[in-house]
Amino acid sequence: MGDVTCPICAVETEENMHVFVRCNYAQEVWGAANIPLPPPSIIEFKDWLLYLVNNVGKETFAKAMMLIWGIWKNRNTQVWEGSKQHPHDVVLMTMGWLEDFMKANSSEQQRSARSRGWTKPPPEGWLKCNIDGAFKAQSGQNGAGIVFRDSRGQFRAASARHLLNITTPFHPELQAMSEAIKMATDLSYNRVIFETDCSMLAAALKQEEGKFSMHSFLIEDVKELLRSQVEFQVNFASREAN
């Protein structure tokens, strides 16, 4: 019989509940994603899945399923390649994939709504900048889109370009935000509300300390750009409004 020790912690026996919940590594992943661990009374993995179905909303359940996949993918990388990701990077990768999947599978009705209208305009004297990043792992066709409008919804400026050396779905969103802020500064736009449909990006830029280790330096660079302009704001906007 082969070694049944957990390849991540190298301490406990590897079984479903340990790999996905009880292992210290898995617990760091769940903590980074702000998803609570199961109560001590639940000792079987299948029972925990049923607990999630009955006690959390659809959005949290979808996140949990993606994190389970991310933990398993990381486990296999450790076994076959001898390397593993930081727990925060597992969250970053899997939540990025989830947001990318949800964007790609938006209903035709939502697409139609986006084509007919626009989100709430900014106050008089302000501009609104909507940004978006695209991540295509297999084709490498990653890109960033930026558009500025005034309080009447009139077009002011825009940019779209291909991005190189993109590593995660979160990366092009962050890169697009960085370029949008630099573009606004270069054009002497002083009052700008930047909107992104990446909730992770909006949250990361509002946290005092970055948790996303893979892109922490770029996050801090974007925060510094924001601090240099007193009247720059970053908001989350739903996919339908962005």
Same domain flag for 162 and 202: yes
Instruction: With respect to residue 141, please indicate whether it lies within any of the assigned structural domains.
Output: yes
Domain total in the chain: 2
Same domain flag for 116 and 45: no
Instruction: With respect to residue 98, please indicate whether it lies within any of the assigned structural domains.
Output: no
Instruction: With respect to residue 163, please indicate whether it lies within any of the assigned structural domains.
Output: yes
Of the residues 51, 84, 117, the one at which a domain ends: 84
Question: What is the distance of C-alpha 71 from the center of its chain?
Answer: 16
Report pTM.
Answer: 0.57
In the chain (242 residues long), the average pLDDT of successive 10-residue segments reads: 78 87 90 83 86 83 89 88 82 78 60 52 92 73 88 88 79 90 92 89 76 72 86 80 60
Same domain flag for 77 and 119: no
Instruction: With respect to residue 158, please indicate whether it lies within any of the assigned structural domains.
Output: yes
Q: What is the pLDDT of residue 130?
A: 92
Same domain flag for 144 and 227: yes
Q: What is the CATH classification number for the domain harbouring 182?
A: 3.30.420.10
Instruction: With respect to residue 97, please indicate whether it lies within any of the assigned structural domains.
Output: no
Of the residues 84, 117, 132, the one at which a domain ends: 84
Q: What is the pLDDT of residue 137?
A: 60
Range of the domain at 153: 109-241
Same domain flag for 234 and 158: yes
Instruction: With respect to residue 121, please indicate whether it lies within any of the assigned structural domains.
Output: yes
